[in-house]
Structure 1
Amino acid sequence: MKTFLIQTIGGNIKHDFCFQLIEAVNFINWYNGEKVYNVILSDYINYRECIPVGSLEFVFDYIEKFFRKDRKSIKPINIPDELFIPKYLKRDCCIKDKKNIIIDRPVFIKSMDAYKSFTEIINDKNNIPEGRYLVSEVIDIESEWRGFVLNGKLVGLNNYLGDFTLFPDILLIKEMINSYKNCPPSYTIDVGVNQSGTFIIEVHPFVSCGLYGFRGKFLPTMFNQAFNYIINN
């Protein structure tokens, strides 16, 4: 039986995905008439052989403690190579080391080296840390959506910012998913909508991802798969 170690802060659940995971576990255990999954709630990581669910810091602390894997070795995906094409980007975008970034207008940059690292719109590169960056032109985004993918299938799609009446191109999202072969078994794909259409924003393994209303029976499998992906890649 798999056990989820769910982070609390001061004894309280603070993340939407933790709350929804507990709901999903309770449902699955009830539906099966037996305990399929176990849950431990804790402010601390001191429990072996668990699947940690909480902030990135909580999960990475657990991985470093019990798997001896340096968090610096865990790199963000951002935009995968298979999706780094004009049809999906719909904006000027590249990946460069700091020394090779040329700025003649404001650009959005995001670190390719570490999660929750440098992300900003900049006019001058002199004050950013050394490293490798996703560099994108600044564009208007009228609506932003998060897709939830399990084993190559889109299992959820939720609006998280902007006009919820501007629906993305589902067929294009599914095409992106089909094109993304070297992928985690469970991940999120964020897309934007503007006058140019639907375009990719970024991809994340299903670890410490906001749900924005997504819920249900897939959550335990998705958290388990994504954790195994992180520790094995």
Structure 2
Amino acid sequence: MKIYIRKNFDNEIASHNFYAAYDGFKQMGIEINYFKNIEELSDSKKEDIVVSYVDDVRKVLFKHNIITPEIDYPEELKGYLGRKVWDSKLSIIANNPENWNVFIKPVEDKKFTGVVVRSTKDLIGCGTYGEDPEILCSEVVNFVAEWRCFVRYGRILDIRRYRGDWRAQYDYKVVEDVVAEYKTAPKGYAVDFGLTDKGQTLLIEVNDGYSLGYYGLFSLDYAKLLSARWAELTNTIDECDF
């Protein structure tokens, strides 16, 4: 197994997330290589982990006939959302102002950044000309703080706040219950939670572990999480399972 990490054209590692992965894999003594364009990896093997942007990682996995699932709102966890969630198309929201004041995000992971739509300006950057992407919609909830919970092989590694009031505190029991009830969970993933202004701890979304913001997670834990999910997707041995 080798690790391939994306660099920018200035020859620096392209993201702080990628640097965290670099640091973690280096601690484990795994061979690390670099690339600047995903096309350079045409000869990479299935077990070789690629650390890069979502589109890059998906291209490499697709080369091995692997299509990553969309797992934002798992069926068994919908009771923890605390709000209505439904499927739609971008055009339906854009052309019907009566449907505004709604949060939208793309079904295809990271196609655009999720946003609350209250006016036409909020739709800027949500689509490409000639496309009408499928989206997930949800009722707007006022979260005062948000956290990311990292899970590897069913065990919570850590929880990191990434937005909101540092004095706020989530209900850890809700977090534990979500992880316990997520029976179809991948081997490596993260769950985002939010505390509402009414004091509820709600599930925001699930994030797949093959390309994931690390939000200050210890680099060794982060690298091992990436490895666990990569091995699962590629049906190879997780050489970082120790």
Per the normalisation by structure 2, the TM-score is 0.78
Give the structure 1 partner of residue 238 of structure 2.
none
Structure 1 residues 188 and 9: alpha-carbon distance in aligned structure 2, compared to 1, 3 A threshold: same
Superposed CA RMSD: 2.7
Structure 1 residues 26 and 75: alpha-carbon distance in aligned structure 2, compared to 1, 3 A threshold: closer
2:137 to 135, 138, 150: 135
Is residue 74 of structure 1 aligned with residue 68 of structure 2?
yes
2:117 to 122, 125, 138: 122
Supply the AA of the counterpart residue of 2:116: I
2:182 to 180, 183, 190: 180
Supply the AA of the counterpart residue of 2:196: N
Question: Please, which runs of 5 or more residues in structure 2 have no aligned partner?
Answer: 236-242
Distance of 2:17 and 2:100 partners within structure 1 = 38
CA contact (8 A) 1:95 1:132 kept: no
Supply the AA of the counterpart residue of 1:28: M
1:110 to 64, 80, 105: 105
Structure 1 residues 105 and 216: alpha-carbon distance in aligned structure 2, compared to 1, 3 A threshold: closer
Q: Report how far residue 120 of structure 1 moved.
A: 3.1
- Matched ranges for 1:25-174 at <5 A: 25-29=25-29, 37-45=30-38, 46-47=40-41, 48-49=44-45, 50-64=48-62, 66-69=63-66, 73-85=67-79, 88-91=80-83, 93-98=84-89, 103-112=98-107, 114-118=108-112, 119-122=114-117, 130=132, 132-174=134-176
Q: Report how far residue 124 of structure 1 moved.
A: 8.2
Q: Report how far residue 189 of structure 1 moved.
A: 0.5
Q: Report how far residue 89 of structure 1 moved.
A: 1.4
Distance of 1:105 and 1:26 partners within structure 2 = 47
Give the structure 2 partner of residue 222 of structure 1.
225
CA contact (8 A) 1:24 1:216 kept: yes
**Percent identity of paired positions between Structure 1 and Structure 2:** 23
Distance of 2:160 and 2:221 partners within structure 1 = 15
SS at match of 1:227: helix
Supply the AA of the counterpart residue of 1:6: I
- Matched ranges for 1:189-228 at <5 A: 189-196=191-198, 197-228=200-231
Supply the AA of the counterpart residue of 1:214: L
CA contact (8 A) 1:7 1:58 kept: no
How many residues get paired? 216
CA contact (8 A) 1:89 1:199 kept: yes
SS at match of 1:121: strand
Distance of 2:119 and 2:167 partners within structure 1 = 36
Distance of 1:163 and 1:142 partners within structure 2 = 6
